[in-house]
Amino acid sequence: MVCRTCGKKGDHWTSRCPYKDLAQPVETFVDKPAAAKPTSTKGAYVPPSMRAGAEQTGAEMRRRNEENSVRVTNLSEDTRAPYLLELFRTFGPLVVCMLQCDEKTGLSRGFGFVNFVNKENTERAINKLDGYGYDNLILCVEWATPRAN
């Protein structure tokens, strides 16, 4: 096998490449928005929740808008929630990012749910990541079906 990150043959997979932190990103999904400058004076403290690109917390985190929910399938057992969060964070602020894991083994069950704040970000994520190769598998990203009451 040849690693997609470093291009070398070896005993490691792409997700476990020891050179992945040094490699240039192969493809960028979207341009990252420019960081907003604080409106206050230089050196003033800005709480993390008010910084540019901050994610929602508290009561807003618990409220789940099912219109903006995405189901991600065909994830490998090695996938962890922070990896999924990092993959989807590039499309916009998230409300919830859940990876379903087996209770006994703690390994990924192969699917998860991501909930965005905006519907436009949800649509962009589906368009860009459906069929995207991730961890030697092809992701299936689609609108999540609403829960039954």
Residue 110 lies in a domain: yes
Residues of the chain with pLDDT > 70, as a percent, come to: 62
Query: Is 79 found in the same domain as 149?
Result: yes
For residue 55, the number of C-alpha atoms closer than 13 Å in the C-beta half-sphere is: 18
Residue 27: is its pLDDT beyond 60? Answer: no
Domain tally, the chain: 2
pLDDT, residue 68, reads: 86
Query: According to the model, what pLDDT value does residue 55 have?
Result: 58
pLDDT attached to residue 49: 65
Of 115, 117, 112, give the one whose Cα is nearest residue 134: 112
In a domain, 115, yes or no: yes
pLDDT at 111 over 90: yes
pLDDT in tens, 41-100: 567 777 766 676 665 554 444 445 567 899 999 999 888 989 899 999 999 999 989 999
Reported confidence tier of residue 14, pLDDT bands at 50, 70, 90: low
Whether residue 71 is found in the same domain as residue 122: yes
| pLDDT recorded at residue 146 | 76
Q: How far apart are CA 122 and CA 115, in angstroms?
A: 8
Residues 69 and 125 grouped into a single domain = yes
List, as one string, the DSSP characters of 114-143.
EEESSHHHHHHHHHHHTT-EETTEE-EEEE
The enclosing domain of 117 has a CATH number of 3.30.70.330
Predicted pLDDT at 67: 79
